[in-house]
Amino acid sequence: MMRVYVASSLWVGEQEECLLRCMDSWALSGLDVTFTLDANRECAFSAHGLEAIVYVNPDETRGTYLQTWNHRRRMIDRQDEYDLFVYHENDILLTREHVDLFLDWTRCIPKEWSIRFMNFVYDENGKKRIYHTCPADGWDVLEHQGQWYLDLHPRYWALFMLTRKQLKTAIQAGGFTTMARRCLELPVTFGVSEDACAEPWLKGVFLPVLPVYELEDFLMEHLSGKYVEKGMLYQEILERTRNEVCRKRCVST
């Protein structure tokens, strides 16, 4: 059975219901999951027999969210003990289907690439919006062995998922436990926890991609629904992406 190391973080008293839904999904995944949680004080969470291993990290500054980076050294210490390593925010719903998709598509892409997911929220009209995504973030489509991939660079990632081999590559590249300089400059209200999810792509270790014609499968729900006003409609992203594929095909013929 595949062994999965999952890390998340929590400010006790906030988004606990979301965290429990995430743990439910991992507990029912059929995988051998170790779920770890960095929290600002003692707490206990369990779901269907899966108990969170809690590491207490008091964060008096509150706004810095430094605890979101504490899982890195533990991943380095356990890099040979697990097959898959995941860090996600406590309101991002991942399923066994996401894991299977990640592993299946990872076998199809160059080793310098990494499969990623897009998190979405429902707006007031019940439509999916891809959070913190806009054209200025960078946008391209790439072809590899007959498949087309979306190379999208949103400011907000919400998780990373790495195989053991990919984790080792990220560690060997250096800086895996080093926060960006701006994360250490106080006060910080946005950026620290988001950068914790964005690594190691921010340092250029892997190129994050999504299969163009399977985008719907690579969406993950942002349970808290925060920041719903930000980002593009999923349908707009889908149409723009497929139009860009058609344009590139025409140029190449």
- Under the banding of pLDDT at 50, 70 and 90, the label for residue 180 is low
For residues 190 and 19, give the distance between their C-alpha atoms in angstroms, rounded to a whole number: 20
How confident is the model over 6-35, as pLDDT tens digits? Answer: 999 888 888 899 999 999 999 999 999 999
Predicted confidence at residue 36, as pLDDT, reads 96
82 token code pair? 């697990």
Residue 159 and residue 92 in contact, taking contact as beta carbons nearer than 8 Å: yes
Tallying the residues shown for the chain, one arrives at 253
Label the pairing between strands 92-93 and 50-51: unpaired
Q: pLDDT exceeding 70 applies to what percent of the chain?
A: 78
Note down the domain range covering 204: 3-252
The answer for residues whose C-beta is within 8 angstroms of residue 168's C-beta and 6 or more apart is: 79
132 token code pair? 């913190």
- Name the region of 55 (left: φ>0; alpha: ψ -120 to 50; beta: rest): beta
Total domain count for the chain? 1
Question: Domain containing 133 — which CATH number?
Answer: 3.90.550
pTM: 0.89
How confident is the model over 198-240, as pLDDT tens digits? Answer: 655 556 788 889 999 999 999 998 887 666 666 788 888 888 8
9 token code pair? 């973080």
Among candidate residues 140, 106, 128, 160, the one with its CA nearest the CA of residue 236 = 128
